[in-house]
Amino acid sequence: MAQYVFNPITLQYEVREEPRYARPLRAILIVLSVAGLCMLYFWLFTSVLGWDLPKTARLKKENAMWQSKIALAERQMDICEETLRGIEERDDFVYRSIFGLNVIPDEVKEAKTDPGADPLTARLNALTKRAYVQTMALDEVYGIAIDAGDMVSHIPAVPPILPKQGSYRMASPFGYRTDPVYGGTRFHAGQDFAADVGYPVYVTGDGVVEKVSYGFTGYGNEIIIDHGFGYKTRYAHLSRIDVAKGMKVLRGDQIGAIGKTGKATGPHLHYEVIYRGNAINPYSYMNLDMTVEEYIAMITRRREESGPKTKSTLELLKGHGR
């Protein structure tokens, strides 16, 4: 490419031919210069000034924002977990204990962990599962609490027989004793009432007949009543059973009569109070010093609260000097 250059000596423009490689070389030099300036710019930002590149700085800013949001979410979950833990403890050791309900097992509360889930998502899933289970547990307690007014009538709080002096005697008590049949020391889970065969046996609290069985060994003819609120009662060695499985009974209903069926050396009623699966001393749940009149008044009042008197209650009133 021709180039015109001014000659100051001749005061004329002269034609100067430029080498063919000059233009490409110039382009290469320009590119190298720009690259060098860019490298110098990066070096000054990163090494000398210690700054981040614009894109890196933007990404770091976004990452810091998300880390802040995650930290806030974790703190909120800490608060939720602590609050939920307090609710679970009150439910397990206060509410459920009052109404005789079993504690919710930990394995029911725990959520299945997804191996591919990140820690925050796994923690949130676990918290959601625990909250759902606790909601269902409190709904159960609420349903029981609605009927809590009847709790007093459900607890087995009277003797299983009419406490008429001279008509019965207290036999083997609750606790360890010498087994009357096999010998040796054995735990006796109930209280025995010795009386004549046919002496009426009454249910000691409102409930539902859970079990009726007839046998020649062990408890012999027995009845188990589920009173709710964690309570059950057992009536064993009966000569007669007047109820069937699934029947609802109210305190004072006659459910059978004393006998000597099963492993019994004489006619008596074996009576147990069971709370949340454990046998407890029935003597703590009855007042054998009350008079027949007080006993009948208590039973009658319960019958009047629940409706018309049943045949068993009328027999109770007629058959013992009333």
Task: Give the tokens for residue 168.
Answer: 């019965």
72 within domain boundaries: yes
pTM: 0.58
The model's pLDDT over 212-223, given as tens digits with 9 standing for 90+, comes to: 999 998 999 999
The model's pLDDT over 234-285, given as tens digits with 9 standing for 90+, comes to: 999 999 999 999 999 998 899 999 999 998 889 999 999 999 899 999 988 8
Q: In what order do the strands lie in the sheet with 200-202?
A: 200-202, 254-258, 238-241
Helices (H), 99-118: 106-109
Residues 256, 163, single domain; the answer is yes
Residues 33, 137, single domain; the answer is no
Given pLDDT bands bounded at 50, 70 and 90, which one contains residue 51?
low
49: three-class secondary structure by DSSP? coil
Q: Checking phi first, is residue 50 left (phi over 0); if not, alpha (psi -120 to 50) or beta?
A: left
Mean model confidence pLDDT for the chain: 82
Residues 91, 168, single domain; the answer is no
Residues 199, 274, single domain; the answer is yes
Strand partners, 176: 187
60 within domain boundaries: no
Residues 163, 311, single domain; the answer is yes
Residues 206, 280, single domain; the answer is yes
Residues 86, 218, single domain; the answer is no
Q: Which domain does 137 fall in, by range?
A: 66-146
Q: Checking phi first, is residue 273 left (phi over 0); if not, alpha (psi -120 to 50) or beta?
A: beta
Q: How many domains does the chain have?
A: 3
With CA atoms as reference, report the closest residue to 292 among 273, 316, 308: 316
Q: What whole-number percentage of the chain has pLDDT above 90?
A: 26
With CA atoms as reference, report the closest residue to 255 among 273, 279, 235, 226: 235
Residues 229, 284, single domain; the answer is yes
Q: Tell me the C-alpha distance between 41 and 31, whole Å.
A: 15
Residue 14 main-chain phi, psi, to 5 deg: -115, 150
39 within domain boundaries: yes
The 10 Å CB-count burial string (b at 16+, else e) for 289-311 is eeebeebbebbbebbeeeeeebe
Q: Tell me the C-alpha distance between 274 and 205, whole Å.
A: 13
